[in-house]
Amino acid sequence: MSEVVFDRIVKTYQRNSIRALDDVSFSADRGSLFGLIGPDGAGKTSIFRILATLTLPDRGQARVSGWDVVKDYSKIRQVVGYMPGRFSLYPDLSVGENLSFFAALFNTTVQANYDLIKDIYRQIEPFKKRRAGALSGGMKQKLALCCALIHRPSILFLDEPTTGVDAVSRKEFWQTLGNLRKQGITILVSTPYMDEAARCENIALIQNGKILSINTPQKIAGEFPETLFAVRSNNMSGLLRDLRGMSGIGSCYTFGEFHHITFRQGIENPQKWLVGELESKHHHEIEFMQVQPTIEDCFIRLMKKDE
């Protein structure tokens, strides 16, 4: 049963000159954790704004919980929680005031739904009297999530909730999302960080308003059609230049402390060939190994293919 359906949506801005979403379709099952993965400007926020009934699609149809985002927007607003990418709570109201204000707008109280937000709220409760504008980045995100959850929504839209948050808070945040999922809440989350994608059940890779691929993270990674290797040497920038100059190398890009490469067809014993080539170009301390493709590798490959 699909809880969120996005069907051939087109969205343009500035009198059709900017195409933010170009024929985008996907669907997310009830109770699933669905990730929208893509760089800045890919169109993730536009998808959320359409689903949250804040903007209208130019073409196509979107449904949330069976309701149409255009006709039944008021029904949708009762059941979704939306956390925008930018902090959008009242900076001049305190943590507690923000929370009870949003609870009141949904005709409920903080006490009635305390069990749902308990895990997160406990962490910011010591600062209950502090103005929301004076909180740190991570605490702002936690407060925003509490405010999005306070009316017990059945669907949660989280637009880049971990952008600008430290590594520890990010990890905690994803654990929280896992707990919420166990309570039956459908979660749609976007992130520019590929490493977070593996925590989702299904992911959609998005680039320039188009969906490159939709699948489980494992399948997307498993679909990588070539064998992937990692190389490094004492001179990494020179190595990248040299690798790109070699005709036997299919693709080459920086990946953490290594460069990831694939070979063109028809090279026998690529390791011996490459090491020989590199040593002739005065590279030392050469390390070479085969690696498992990650989602980021898939993303880079799909992006290049798209171009």
Partner 1 sequence: MRTILFLLQKEFRQIFRNPSILRVILIMPVVQLLIIPLAADYEIKNINLSVVDHDHSSYSQKLTAKILSSGYFRLNDFSPSFNKSFSEFQKDNSDLILEIPSGFEKDLVRENKAGLFIAVNAINGMKAVAGSAYLSGIISDFNAEILMEWTPPVHPASVAGIQVVPSLWFNPGQTYRFFMVPGVLVILVTMVGAYLCALNIVKEKETGTIEQINVTPVKKHHFILGKLIPFWVIGVFSFSLGLFVIARFVYGIVPAGSLLLLYLFLSVYLVAVLGFGLLVSTYSATQQQAMSLSFFSMTVFILMSGLFTPVESMPVWAQWIARCNPVTYFMEVIRMIVLKGSTFPDIRHHFLIVILFGTVFNVWAILHYRKTV
| Residue ranges in contact with partner 1 by CB under 8 A | 52-54, 74, 77-78, 80, 82, 84, 86-93, 97, 101-102, 104-107, 147, 151
Q: How far is the CB of 82 from partner 1 (least distance, A)?
A: 5
The helix/strand/coil state of 181 is helix
- Using the minimum distance from each CB to partner 1, give the nearer residue, 142 or 283: 142
- Using the minimum distance from each CB to partner 1, give the nearer residue, 5 or 147: 147
- Using the minimum distance from each CB to partner 1, give the nearer residue, 74 or 280: 74
Residues 6+ away with beta carbon under 8 Å from 152: 108, 113, 116
CA–CA separation, 283 and 276 (whole Å): 10
- Using the minimum distance from each CB to partner 1, give the nearer residue, 134 or 289: 134
Query: Which of 259-265's residues contact partners 24+ apart within 8 Å by CB, and which partners?
Result: 259/230, 259/231, 259/232, 260/228, 260/229, 260/230, 260/291, 260/297, 261/228, 261/229, 261/230, 261/231, 262/226, 262/227, 262/228, 262/229, 263/226, 263/227, 263/229
Q: How far is the CB of 128 from partner 1 (least distance, A)?
A: 15
Contact 6, 62 (CB under 8 A): yes
Q: How far is the CB of 28 from partner 1 (least distance, A)?
A: 18
Q: How far is the CB of 145 from partner 1 (least distance, A)?
A: 13
Q: How far is the CB of 235 from partner 1 (least distance, A)?
A: 47
The helix/strand/coil state of 150 is coil
CA–CA separation, 87 and 146 (whole Å): 13
CB atoms within 10 A of CB 251: 17
- Using the minimum distance from each CB to partner 1, give the nearer residue, 37 or 50: 50
Q: How far is the CB of 75 from partner 1 (least distance, A)?
A: 9
- Using the minimum distance from each CB to partner 1, give the nearer residue, 34 or 82: 82
List the structure tokens of 231: 């190389």
